[in-house]
Structure 1
């Protein structure tokens, strides 16, 4: 009997996950199918109960349900619980267990540039859900520091204070981060600033960026945001959001199937889906 997987969100029509995961199921001859489910906030509990009742193999969670789903799961792993958000659910013997592969997915995408983050100086721009997942994950890797720059200082302070892992951090205004941007080895833009259709915006200037730095933007539409274009002009190395998206999906696939998939195939598939629609 074909195993069911899927993704819950609202809206959900834009999701590239079904094509990506169904291609993997076909490629590995796995008798399974992945479907998108548009679920309203008030229907989330009923949707989770229904998926559990029919024996779903697992599913992803996207906005706006990543935090709200937690009370409806049987168990949540330590990292996801500390972040306060779940993006991957696995049916483990009839129990729905929640994980967060966003931060670990981002970390895996860095390995080609930084085999280790020990001693690295890192700046995270933004203090929303994505920033939280990335910040908590990086905090466990023993970097020298992970500073947070955000428009609202109180929000960034709370993110740092809530982190259960020991990490040196400064909370900066965007102006302060702009002035000190040259001191970082890794800069991570986690906000939606610069995403299509508002492609002419960027969170801060990179005039003083270190040419040896890696500048990341978790946005992948457009593939090169104005922020990344500014980094290129200054001679820095860049990475867009495709790596995080692909690796978080690969980690979810591994939790469902027991093996890690062909990431290059996933990356090529995503780029094919985006073809010509990146701005």
Structure 2
């Protein structure tokens, strides 16, 4: 760390203990010798407004937003980027001299992951599990890439219906909803090309959980999991066992983080260094 002013960036959400965002961003700051540091703050729902006000008063440079605040935080910001408005979810905030502007870099993270893995969704049918901020971004991204039909499955069906109604205003794709039950999934997954888990099911420490029974998976599916800790969730392991193509959540994390890094610093992030740092931790290697 060089002498002088240190710019502070942070993550707010609940929980945040599992997050690798401090690791990947601090790795990038050190690699480029930037006077930045990144901290994670656990912020409950009823403390969100005060947290945003406090971070603004402290002149924090950048903020990442995670579960459960990606939609609620919008009301406390001064400006919203057009993509974040369309998705109705913010995961990155930039402090422009006291003006807080919200962005959505989750969409870019998903698009770059699809590009990296050479996965085309044009004309395909996809099932999105969940109705939170990452589900919003995934639905928007797949619609941008030309998906034929998107099914939003959620335990609370009213939340899925609300999300579908909102997204229909900004994306031109057939969007349907269904309850997140085995019976409903069985019917849809048989005729689907892709499924994206946007729920926290399977996240450490609950690594024995999966949102989809193995018998519903098949070899013609692309199975994406937004969970990155563990790197191979039970869902991905069982999908691989039946011959499905799998995509873990690490690339989504790295690429959305890279977009946030550019917004905060104006510099190109050292993506390979960020990925290596995350992989060392996820594989239990010495740091």
TM-score when normalising by structure 1: 0.87
> How far apart, CA to CA, are the structure 2 residues paired with 1:204 and 1:39?
30
Does 2:32 match 1:28?
A: yes
**1:143 matched to 2:147:** yes
Distance 1:10 1:225 in 2: 21
C-alpha distance in structure 2 between counterparts of 1:151 and 1:43, whole Å: 26
Which residue of structure 2 lines up, in the alignment, with residue 196 of structure 1? 204
Segment of structure 1 superposing worse, 113-122 or 127-136 = 113-122
Q: Does 1:6 align with 2:10?
A: yes
The structural deviation recorded for 1:235 is: 0.9
Q: How high is the TM-score relative to the length of structure 2?
A: 0.85
Q: Secondary structure at 2:90's aligned position in 1? A: coil
Preserved contact between residue 195 and residue 219 of structure 1 (Cα < 8 Å): yes
Alignment partner, residue 176 of structure 2: 170
Closer, same or farther: CA 160–19 of 1 in aligned 2, 3 Å: same
Task: Confirm or deny: 8 A CA contact 1:183 1:210 kept in the other structure.
Answer: no
Residue 219 of structure 1 corresponds to which residue in structure 2? 227
SS of aligned partner of 2:116: coil
Deviation at 1:212, TM superposition (A): 4.2
| Structure 1 unaligned regions, length at least 5 | none
Is 2:222–2:246's contact at 8 Å kept on the other side of the alignment? yes
**Equivalent residue for 1:104, pick from 102, 108, 127:** 108
Report what 1:129 is aligned to. Answer: 133
The match for 2:256 is 248
The answer as to whether partners of 1:178 and 1:204 remain within 8 angstroms in 2 is: no
RMSD: 2.5
Q: In 2, Cα distance between the equivalents of 1:49 and 1:70? A: 13
CA distance in 2 between counterparts of 1:63 and 1:43 reads: 14
Structure number with the bigger relative contact order (C-alpha 8 A, sep ≥ 6) is 2
Distance 2:152 2:13 in 1: 28
SS of aligned partner of 1:65: coil
Q: Count the aligned residue pairs.
A: 277
Please give the alpha-carbon distance, in whole angstroms, between the structure 2 residues aligned to 1:272 and 1:203: 27
Question: Structure 2, unaligned stretches of length 5 or more?
Answer: none
CA distance in 1, matches of 2:154, 2:15: 27
Alignment of 1:24-173 (within 5 A): 24-114=28-118, 116-163=120-167, 164=169, 165-173=171-179
- Deviation digits for residues 46-96 of structure 1 (CA, Å, limit 9, x no counterpart): 432333334322111223332332222110122322333321101224311
Distance, in Å, in 1 between the alignment partners of 2:146 and 2:270 is 29
Counterpart CA distance in 1 for 2:147 and 2:204 is 32
Q: 1:259 to 1:153 in 2, by over 3 A?
A: same
Structure 1 CA distance for aligned equivalents of residues 30 and 155 of structure 2: 45
| Alpha-carbon spacing, 1:195–1:53, altered in 2? closer, same or farther (3 Å) | closer
Give the superposition deviation at 1:205.
Answer: 3.2
Take 1:255 and 1:249, find their aligned partners in 2: how far apart are those partners? 10
Relative to structure 1, the CA distance from residue 186 to residue 56 in structure 2 (aligned partners, 3 Å threshold; closer, same or farther) is same
